């Protein structure tokens, strides 16, 4: 693991997700950008002394120096966004499977370079768009793609948070600190941090391609440099329309990610905070409530389910579904086509996400209505 040391948030989530199914052992790490902290964090997690590396470069070198059967097989990179590209590229190049946090990288050039490298090395590469791991998101995907709601007409995706409604970054809170700093977070604030999840969720469920966007990004909290609120109109290829909005200033919003999709024959609604339910609309029929763990669900949902219905699964379990799928790819000796084969978000999703962030920022600055994606 690279990143995720003391004081980090998402690193711990990755570790729990990796542990849940007993498919991963954490054996090596460069857990912080500060060498001393990196080593201390590794010891705290019980890593062997010689695999607590001060830097990711040292880790790469050290692991490569080990006999083949005793190296790591995969690396999770959970650093702030600015520290994604270099280690990802290097570890892919060295032949390791890579699990990388989103948004993938800072620039579209980096994204392309990384995508090229993944293809060249036929590498297993995952981006942890974790929400696509929820069983009922997979069910939604299966239903939309099999035509159960007809041709998609409208999509509304939203992600409302409130934790940055005040200037939290001034308090020294680490998460707020780097997320509001363009040098570490990239060109997008809220749109990069959570808007990218919205974009990926739409793509994953509907398979639709965004044709053009019209964005209005705002920074509400005085003195902040990046957007903390984003509102977009979407036009999809084929004629569907949509709205994407996200915010980090919506007081009371916790992790309020919701998606609604309507087609010619029905509709679906899913809410991340109540992830075990999927509301299904059908023309002239009563609404249905699909619930995780039931026999009427499809294969994709079933494969991501560990507990019987009514025994709720949640965030960590969904995250673990991404890890589980990557493990299956590793065991199968798969390569760059593993995202499609094993059902997890890959480098193409990551690259599309980076482009989306950049185009959104561009659109927001434009006086023209539509910006092509």
185-204: contacts with a copy of itself (CB under 8 A): none
Sign for the CA dihedral angle at 131, 132, 133, 134 comes to: positive
Q: Minimum CB separation from a copy of itself for residue 267, in Å? A: 5
**Applying CB under 8 A, which part among 101-109, 120-128, 266-274, 345-353 lies near a copy of itself?**
266-274
Between 63 and 229, name the residue whose CB sits nearer to a copy of itself: 229
Stretch that binds a copy of itself, among 56-64, 81-89, 199-207, 311-319 (CB under 8 A): 311-319
How near is the Cβ of 254 to a copy of itself at its closest, in Å?
3
Q: Judged by CB, which is closer to a copy of itself: 113, or 303?
A: 303
Q: Which of 80, 188, 266, 304 binds a copy of itself (CB under 8 A)?
A: 266
Pick out residues in 140-159 that bind a copy of itself (CB under 8 A): 149, 153-154, 156, 158
**String marking each residue 271-310 x if it binds a copy of itself according to CB under 8 A:** -xxxxx---xxxxxxxxxxxx-xxxx---------xxxxx
Shortest reach from residue 176's CB to a copy of itself, in Å:
12
Stretch that binds a copy of itself, among 95-103, 225-233, 323-331, 338-346 (CB under 8 A): 225-233
- The answer to whether residue 252 forms part of the interface with a copy of itself (CB under 8 A) is yes
* H or E element, residue 263: strand 256-263
Compute the least distance from the CB of residue 368 to a copy of itself, in Å: 6
Cβ proximity of 317 and 324 under 8 Å: no
Classify residue 212 as exposed, middle or buried by CB count within 10 Å of its CB (0-12, 13-18, 19+).
middle
- Of positions 245, 323, 342, 356, contacts a copy of itself by CB under 8 A: 245
Q: Under rule CB under 8 A, which residues in 314-343 are in contact with a copy of itself?
A: 314-317
Note whether 279 and 289 are within 8 A (CB): yes
* 144 DSSP assignment: H
* Least distance to a copy of itself, CB of residue 265, Å: 7
- Site for a copy of itself, residues 23 to 82, rule: CB under 8 A: 26, 45-46
Contact positions with a copy of itself (CB under 8 A) in 111-140: none
CA gap 170, 189 in Å, rounded: 16
Find the shortest distance in angstroms from Cβ 156 to a copy of itself.
7
Question: Which of the stretches 178-186, 197-205, 235-243, 333-341 binds a copy of itself when contact is defined by CB under 8 A?
Answer: 235-243
- Shortest spacing between CB 300 and a copy of itself, in angstroms: 17
Minimum CB distance to a copy of itself, residue 364 (Å): 10
Phi/psi at 130 (5° precision): -65, -25
CB of 199 within 8 A of CB of 352?
A: yes
Give the CB-side neighbour count of residue 9, counting CA atoms within 13 A.
8
Give the residue carrying structure tokens 């979407």: 234
Task: Answer for the pair 167, 221: CB distance below 8 angstroms, yes or no.
Answer: yes
DSSP β-ladder status, 256-263 and 152-160 = antiparallel
**Do 43 and 49 form a contact (C-beta atoms < 8 A)?**
yes
Closest CA to 140 of 277, 240, 341: 277
Minimum separation from the CB atom of position 283 to a copy of itself (A)? 6
Tokens linked to 167: 């200037």
Nearest Cα residue to 28 out of 19, 41, 17: 41
CA distances to 46, 246, 344 from 84, in Å: 25, 23, 19
Interface with a copy of itself: number of residues (CB under 8 A): 88
Task: Decide if 181 contacts 238 (C-beta within 8 A).
Answer: no
Closer to a copy of itself by CB, 40 or 45: give it: 45
């Amino acid at each position: 693991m690279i990143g995720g040391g003391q004081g980090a948030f998402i690193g711990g989530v990755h570790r729990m997700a990796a542990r849940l199914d007993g498919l991963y052992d954490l054996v090596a790490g460069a857990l912080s950008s500060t060498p001393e902290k990196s080593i201390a964090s590794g010891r705290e997690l019980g890593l062997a002394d010689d695999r607590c590396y001060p830097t990711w470069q040292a880790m790469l070198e050290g692991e490569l120096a080990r006999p083949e059967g005793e190296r790591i097989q995969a690396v999770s990179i959970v650093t702030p966004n600015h520290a994604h590209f270099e280690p990802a590229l290097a570890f892919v190049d060295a032949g390791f499977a890579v699990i990388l946090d989103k948004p993938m990288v800072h620039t579209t050039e980096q994204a392309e370079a990384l995508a090229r490298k993944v293809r060249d090395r036929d590498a297993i590469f995952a981006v942890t768009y974790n929400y696509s791991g929820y069983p009922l998101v997979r069910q939604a995907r299966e239903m939309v793609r099999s035509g159960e709601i007809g041709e998609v007409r409208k999509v509304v995706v939203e992600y409302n948070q409130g934790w940055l409604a005040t200037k939290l970054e001034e308090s020294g809170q680490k998460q707020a600190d780097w997320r509001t700093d363009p040098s570490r977070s990239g060109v997008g604030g809220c749109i990069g941090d959570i808007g990218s999840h919205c974009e990926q969720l739409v793509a994953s469920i509907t398979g639709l391609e965004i044709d053009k966007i019209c964005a209005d990004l705002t920074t509400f909290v005085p003195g902040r440099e990046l957007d903390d609120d984003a509102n977009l109109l979407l036009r999809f290829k084929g004629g569907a329309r949509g709205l994407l909005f996200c915010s980090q200033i919506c007081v009371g919003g916790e992790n309020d990610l919701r998606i609604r999709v309507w087609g010619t024959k029905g509709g679906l609604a899913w809410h991340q905070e109540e992830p075990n339910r999927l509301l299904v609309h059908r023309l002239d029929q009563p609404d249905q409530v699909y619930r995780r763990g039931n026999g009427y669900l499809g294969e994709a949902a079933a494969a991501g389910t560990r507990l019987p219905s009514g025994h709720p699964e949640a965030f960590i379990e969904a995250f673990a579904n991404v890890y589980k799928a990557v493990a299956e790819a590793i065991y199968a000796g798969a390569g760059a086509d593993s995202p499609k084969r094993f059902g997890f978000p890959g480098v193409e999703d990551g690259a599309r996400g980076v482009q989306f962030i950049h185009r959104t920022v561009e659109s927001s600055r434009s006086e023209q209505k539509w910006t092509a994606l």
